[in-house]
């Protein structure tokens, strides 16, 4: 198969689910180094890959310029050292991988840190990462993924799926409120991630408070402007009826607007004008008369500005003094 695929420029997707020996994988991997390979998606699931076979696969991927989606899931036969070595092989590679799925693969904390180092410093092409159901990963491992969201990271990740897709009484989940809050704080300065999912992990309300602040920090006008305006979807177990959760849902909905200047405008109107009756006069009371029409127009562009506009009129009655 490796020989055939080395000269095939039509096959785009390949899913394998048969056990094979190390020599078989070494032979198959040859097709990934061929300049004629057109494979864009590879899923060797159910093949019981071990360290040697996976290392052969990743060695070949380092020279591949066509594969965009790699899915290796539901295998526990690859050791932590094996995963670490595989991720190191892609540092400085020619790979253009965009989607990675390593769910249910027993990646531990060391493997998680190696993967994060790869994506945050060396592979800017990856846009989607899925690392579900890692029974060997502790709190430190999950926390390492926050590095992908920091300003120092070169990652352009748009979708990040972590956590667990199942819930069992005897299964220990290492994602707690501290982990969520660290992710929320990292999101405030992130401008690429659009979707963040934690599966069936339950999030406490104080974690939603932290996420709400990252999406709209009302400490000052400047802090609102520098809040996160990119994230549009956050998934976990939560009480949808609670005000903090509903506030996050509303802010995520605002972020869906591709015009980010309008997103900032909407967020500025909400906290400063809706919650503080005197805020309008504090901000606009000393504004030159020549600039007030522009401010009024800015506020009244859509339905979100009607209430602030009403407060402005009520706080600055001299605007409407009638000359007798």
- Give DSSP secondary structure letters for 218-271: TT-HHHHHTS-----EEEEE--TTSHHHHHHHHHHHHHT-S-HHHHHHHHHHII
- For CA atoms 179, 182, 184, 190, the dihedral sign is negative
Q: Give the pLDDT score at 169.
A: 43
pLDDT higher than 70, residue 132: yes
Enclosing H/E stretch for 306: helix 306-315
* Of 110, 121, 131, 113, the residue nearest 152 (C-alpha): 121
Q: Which residues contact 17 (CB under 8 A, 6 or more apart)?
A: 45, 46, 47
Q: Give the pLDDT score at 218.
A: 83
211 token code pair: 């996420």
Q: How confident is the model at residue 48 (pLDDT cuts 50, 70, 90)?
A: confident
Write out pLDDT tens, residues 89-106.
999 998 999 999 999 898
How much is the pTM? Answer: 0.84
Q: How far apart are CA 161 and CA 246, in angstroms?
A: 22
* Of 148, 88, 145, the residue nearest 114 (C-alpha): 88
Q: Give the pLDDT score at 170.
A: 41
Q: Give the pLDDT score at 295.
A: 72
Q: Give the pLDDT score at 278.
A: 59
DSSP-based three-state secondary structure for 110: helix
**β-bridge pairing 195-202 and 69-71:** unpaired
Burial of 145 (0-12, 13-18, 19+ CB in 10 A): buried
pLDDT higher than 80, residue 61: yes
Residue for token pair 């180092």: 117
Beta carbons of 97 and 129 less than 8 angstroms apart: no
pLDDT higher than 50, residue 217: yes
CA distances (Å), 6 to each of 10, 37, 38, 53, in order? Answer: 11, 6, 9, 18
- Give DSSP secondary structure letters for 111-129: HHHHHHHHHHHT-----EE
Which of 100-109, 209-218, 288-297 is predicted least confidently?
Answer: 288-297
Q: How far apart are CA 173 and CA 175, in angstroms?
A: 6
Q: How confident is the model at residue 311 (pLDDT cuts 50, 70, 90)?
A: low
Beta carbons of 108 and 77 less than 8 angstroms apart: no
Q: How confident is the model at residue 275 (pLDDT cuts 50, 70, 90)?
A: low
Residue for token pair 């430190």: 140
Beta carbons of 296 and 312 less than 8 angstroms apart: yes
What are the domain boundaries of the chain?
276-324
Write out pLDDT tens, residues 169-202.
444 568 888 999 999 999 998 999 999 999 888 8
Q: How confident is the model at residue 296 (pLDDT cuts 50, 70, 90)?
A: confident
Write out pLDDT tens, residues 139-166.
999 999 999 999 999 999 999 999 887 6
Mean pLDDT across the chain: 85
Which of 44-48, 50-54, 215-219 is predicted least confidently?
Answer: 44-48
Write out pLDDT tens, residues 235-269.
988 777 778 888 899 999 999 999 998 899 888 87
Which of 41-50, 66-75, 233-242, 269-278 is predicted least confidently?
Answer: 269-278
């Amino acid at each position: 198969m490796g020989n055939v695929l080395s000269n095939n420029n039509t096959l785009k997707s390949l899913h394998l689910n048969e056990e094979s020996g190390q020599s078989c994988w070494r032979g198959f991997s040859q097709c990934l180094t061929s300049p004629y390979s057109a494979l864009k998606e590879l899923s060797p699931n159910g093949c019981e890959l071990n360290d040697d076979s996976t290392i052969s696969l990743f060695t070949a991927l380092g020279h591949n310029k066509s594969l965009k989606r790699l899915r290796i899931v539901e295998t526990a036969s690859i050791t932590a050292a094996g995963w670490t070595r595989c991720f190191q092989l892609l540092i400085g590679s020619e790979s253009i991988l965009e989607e990675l799925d390593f769910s249910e693969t027993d990646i531990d904390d060391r493997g998680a840190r190696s993967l994060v180092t790869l994506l945050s410093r060396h592979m800017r092409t990856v846009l989607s990462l899925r690392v579900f159901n890692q029974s060997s990963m502790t709190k430190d491992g999950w926390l390492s993924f926050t590095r992908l969201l920091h300003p120092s990271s070169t990652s352009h990740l748009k979708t990040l799926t972590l956590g667990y897709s199942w819930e069992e009484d005897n299964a220990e989940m290492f994602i707690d409120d501290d982990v969520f809050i660290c992710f929320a704080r990292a999101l405030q300065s992130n401008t690429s991630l659009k979707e963040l999912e934690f599966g069936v992990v339950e999030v406490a309300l104080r974690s939603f408070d932290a996420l709400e602040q990252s999406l709209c920090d009302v400490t000052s006008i400047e802090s609102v402007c520098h809040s996160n305006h990119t994230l549009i979807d956050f998934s976990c177990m939560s009480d949808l009826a609670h005000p903090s959760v509903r506030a996050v849902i509303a802010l995520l909905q605002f972020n869906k607007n591709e015009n980010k200047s309008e997103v900032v405008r909407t967020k500025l109107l909400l906290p400063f004008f809706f919650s503080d009756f005197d805020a309008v006069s504090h901000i606009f009371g000393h504004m030159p008369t020549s600039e007030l029409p522009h401010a009024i127009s800015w506020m009244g562009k859509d339905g979100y500005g009607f209430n602030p506009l009403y407060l402005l009129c009520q706080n600055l009655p001299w605007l409407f003094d009638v000359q007798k």
